[in-house]
Amino acid sequence: MPHPIIAQLPRVIGHRGAMGSAPENTLASLRRAAELGARWVEFDVAISADDRLLLFHDDELTRITGRAGRFADSPASLLEGLDAGARFDARFAGERIPGFAAAAALLGELGLGANLEIKVPEARAEAAVARLVDELAEHWPRGLPLLLSSFSETALDAAARRLPQLPRGLLLERLPRDWRRRAQALGAVSLHLAEASIDAALCAALRGAGYPLLAYTVNRRQRAAELFGWGVHAVFSDYPERLLDLPAGGGSR
């Protein structure tokens, strides 16, 4: 029987907020997702050199901020002062890398459910989850739905031990032969796969095994309709507004 969180998932989840129209993993991107009609967002949480949790995707700072250096080697005081918006568009100049507490507060105000991806090096996975335990207890809005996910099985295992009450999704690029063993070992309630690796037979196999499938990153209506038609439960999109009006059943208009 699917975990109760699955029934709360909308079919379309904003990817890193709404990164097609606002700088990814920023408060502006979370707000934009809500403005566009998304009811859930996905975002990445990384850990700084001094064990602070902030929203960021890349190992390196350059693509987002224009500054050289590695995120994991940088203290939060430096990271929070960097411009995470100007390289996306001059209109967003001054948009900062947000801390977890600020993002959680905004999600509560907006009423957005969230898929929180733990984006950390394996060596920092335990520390990141330990910090996440404290941050969730202090800052996560009561009753706001939350699904954890990660490519790091070390992080998911730590979450299973430290946050057993929270549902977890296993992130993979493509489905490996031992997927069932790995999913069961981690207590995963869903599988999250790259959309290019998904076909009808794979969807049928996962559906038969009782695992909801979430696909990333889907920006074309035709592809989203095809995936929904095969039984994909939800898709992550940079442009959620493009897909929100797809009719039930997967057909395109």
Q: CB of 187 within 8 A of CB of 3?
A: no
Catalytic residue ranges: 15, 57
The residue-averaged pLDDT of 215-237 equals 98
Q: Measured between alpha carbons, how far is residue 50 from residues 61, 98, 119, 159 in Å? A: 16, 15, 16, 20
Query: Is 76 within a domain?
Result: no
Examine residue 80 and state whether it is found in any structural domain, yes or no: no
Residue-wise pLDDT for 129-187, tens only, equals 999 999 999 999 999 999 999 999 999 999 999 999 999 999 999 999 999 999 999 99
- The answer to whether residue 250 sits within a structural domain is no
The answer to the question of residue 67 being in a domain is no
The CATH number assigned to the domain holding 140 equals 3.20.20.190
Residue 47, pLDDT above cutoff 90: yes
Model confidence at 99: pLDDT above 80: yes
Residue 249 in domain = no
Summary mean pLDDT of the chain: 96
Domain with 105, as residue range(s), is 4-58+98-242
Cα 219 from chain centroid (whole Å) = 16
Q: Specify the pLDDT at position 249.
A: 60
- Cis-peptide, bond into residue 65, ω within 30° of zero: no
pLDDT of residue 247: 80
Answer yes or no: pTM beyond 0.85: yes
- Percent of the chain scored above 70 by pLDDT? 98
Residue 68 counted as domain residue: no
Residue range 232-252, pLDDT digits in tens: 999 999 999 999 999 866 443
Q: Is residue 63 part of a domain?
A: no
Dihedral, CA of residue 103, residue 27, residue 145 and residue 232, to nearest 10: -140
Q: Is residue 46 part of a domain?
A: yes
Number of domains, the chain:
1
